[in-house]
Structure 1
Amino acid sequence: MVIFNDVLIENDEAKLPYNNRGTFYGDGVFETIRCFQGTAIFYESHYFRLMSSMRLLRMEIPQFFTPEYFEEQITRLYDTSKVKGGHSRVRISVWRNAGGLYTPTDNTVSFTIEMTDLSQIFERSEKNEVELFKDHLLPLGMLGNLKTSTKTVNILAGVYKTENDYDDMLLLNQNKMVVESISGNLFLRSENIIKTPPLVDGCLNGIMREQVIAQLKRMLNYEIVEESITPFELQRADELFSTNVIQGIKNITKYRKKEYEQTAGDELRSFFNEKLFS
């Protein structure tokens, strides 16, 4: 089942107009939320990021787009879904309605909310070999912080990954700094110093990134800094991991000839599994 403009229908009945601006121009945003037993994790952060993204893209926010409304719709989907084990993934997609060419003539929106089964807690990475993706670069600035429908660089990195038998790719920005993985924020540990790229480098303003930074600040054995990461630092690091709300903390096990520890990743993973799913 999927909620399409407030109507709960079967997935194959959700028909989009051929000229919707999400398809024509990538004129949309989305939010991916992890849920446990029908409750959205880090819900407030997700909600405000979605509203902020819509405002930045000058979309007209419907009056009923309240925090309570989306919580009710998630419960509505959970009650009609076949989710096993209580773990699920919710995607809220919002796009500007048809009208105009590059310049829209209508700033109202349509939306869908869908739920799929996850059936696991945050799990340890046994194999996650990565490489740098150099064919295309991410832009600097605020638009890179948003979850927009325009994810061409990430898509092409995913194609390259599959064609060359890697597990993930690390993406570069226009300054040739390492920004993130295909679907997660990047953290690099050297001894007790953990670095993650600042938002001005164009990385996603990730919800799990925010939570991991907050937790690292509470831990006495690590120091967290937001600082650009050069490609040369990767092979000198003790540990690399990426984060998102679906996979949690995903350790990188190998980059070229370098194999990494999983010390901080294991500590963080244990903390969040106990906090969120116990």
Structure 2
Amino acid sequence: MFLWNGELVSEEEIQVSYNDRGYYFGDGVYEVFRIYRGQLFEKQAHMKRLYQSMHLVRIHVPWDEEALAAKLDELAADFGNGDGYLYLQITRGAAPRTHTIPDQIDPVMLGYCEPYASPISQIKQGIPAMTTEDIRWHQCNIKSLNLLPNTLARQQAKEAGAEEAIFIREGMVTEGSASNLFIVTGGVIRTHPADRLILEGITRQVIERIAEEEGIPFENTACSQDELMAADEVFLTSTTREITPVISIDNQPIGSGTPGPVTRQLQEAFNRFKLVFDRKNILSIQ
């Protein structure tokens, strides 16, 4: 089933207008919720970010946060008890093409679930990455449909034999093309502050909480490209990749060239966090 403008429908019932502003301008926002054992992970945090994005781009929806969250639960329940993700997209709606925002327009919402398994081998063994210039706009905190710079950066990484592209803006590290990036130096975790130059990831928020619980120093401070290359450890986080070590950048090994101890500690703590999440949901269902 699909969530289409607030109702669960079959795929055949979905019709997207050629005048949809998401098609013309990328005029919309989206969220990707991770599903573990049929349950939406960190749902409230995702909902908060979704509504913040809509507020910043002036999309006004007829669904309040609680009502939409309930619909997402219905969609996830229809998906079943497996692991996957829920993709939700909201565009400004359909109207004749003009660069200004129409006065009267209804937003268009589409949501669906897909099976997805964590990339275990990459999480265990780590991945190679590369750096590239961050040429994106200055409101990366909005989870916008405008992802062409990210797409081109990821393609550049793929062609270079890397798994992720790390953005560098004026000599400073911002984030990955589809991930938040962290370095570990002297046992201290550092990551770019959650400002307009990055998208504040939900997994990033979880990692900050876990680091505090584990007693690992955590700093929201940007690092330079030189500090990135000299780091003891580098890892990235995202909804789909969880915590993935970066073992080389631009064909140079990071630290020992293997996943480091702080990254491993965080991975183990994250897995325990997911187990607690599972137990809470099992108890709520019983």
TM-score normalised by length of structure 2: 0.86
Find the counterpart in structure 2 of residue 115 from structure 1: 113
Amino acid at match of 2:6: D
SS of equivalent to 1:102: coil
Deviation for aligned residue 1:55: 0.9
**By how many angstroms is 1:191 displaced?**
1.7
> Which amino acid is 1:108 matched to?
D
Q: 1:127: how far off?
A: 4.1
Change (3 A) 1:194 1:227: same
Aligned length: 269
The letter for the 2-side match of 1:23 is: Y
Aligned to 1:133: 132
1:169 is aligned to 2:168: no
* One-letter amino acid of the counterpart of residue 249, structure 1: I
Report the 3-state secondary structure (helix = DSSP H, G, I; strand = E; otherwise coil) of the residue aligned with 1:55: helix
Alignment-derived partner of residue 78 in structure 1:
76
2:226 counterpart residue number: 232
Distance 2:208 2:105 in 1: 35
Residues 107 and 190 from structure 1, CA distance in 2 versus in 1: closer, same or farther, beyond 3 angstroms? farther
Aligned to 1:17: 17
Alpha-carbon shift at residue 79 of structure 1 (Å): 3.6
| Distance verdict in 2 for CA 1:260–1:188, change over 3 Å | farther
Equivalent residue number for residue 282 of structure 2: none
Residue identity opposite 1:116 in structure 2? E
**Aligned-residue offset at 1:186:** 0.5
Change (3 A) 1:21 1:129: same
CA RMSD of aligned residues (A): 2.1
Answer yes or no: is the 8 Å Cα contact 1:2–1:9 preserved in 2. Answer: yes
Alpha-carbon distance, 1:86 to partner: 2.1
**What SS does the corresponding residue of 2:203 show, helix, strand or coil?**
helix
Q: Which secondary structure state, in structure 1, belongs to the residue aligned with residue 125 of structure 2?
A: coil
Structure 2 letter corresponding to 1:232? D
**Structure-2 change in CA distance of 1:165 and 1:120 (3 Å):** closer
Query: Counterpart of 2:212 in structure 1: which amino acid?
Result: K
CA distance in 1, matches of 2:6, 2:131: 41
Runs of 4+ in 1 over 4 A off after TM superposition: 120-123
Q: Which residue of 2 aligns with 1:192?
A: 187
Could you tell me how far apart the structure 1 residues matched to 2:167 and 2:30 are?
20
Unaligned ranges ≥5, structure 2? 279-286
Task: Identify which range, 21-30 or 164-173, moves more after superposition.
Answer: 164-173
Contact 1:122 1:269 in 2 (8 A): no
Q: State yes or no: 1:257 paired with 2:255.
A: no
1:149 correspondence with 2:118: no
**Amino acid of the structure 2 residue aligned with 1:42:** E
Give the equivalent residue in structure 2 for 1:183: 178
2-side partners of 1:231 and 1:73: how far apart? 43
> In the alignment, is the contact (CA less than 8 A) between 1:187 and 1:196 conserved in 2?
yes
Partner-residue secondary structure (3-state), 1:189:
strand
Q: Would you say 1:5 and 2:14 are equivalent positions?
A: no
1:145 alignment partner, SS class: coil
| Cα 1:93–1:201 shift into 2, 3 Å | closer
Q: Is the 8 A contact 2:184 2:190 kept in 1?
A: yes
Quick one: which amino acid aligns to residue 55 of structure 1? Answer: H
Looking at structure 2, the residues matched to 156 and 179 of structure 1 have their Cα atoms a distance apart, in angstroms, of 17
- Counterpart of 1:271 in 2: which secondary structure? helix
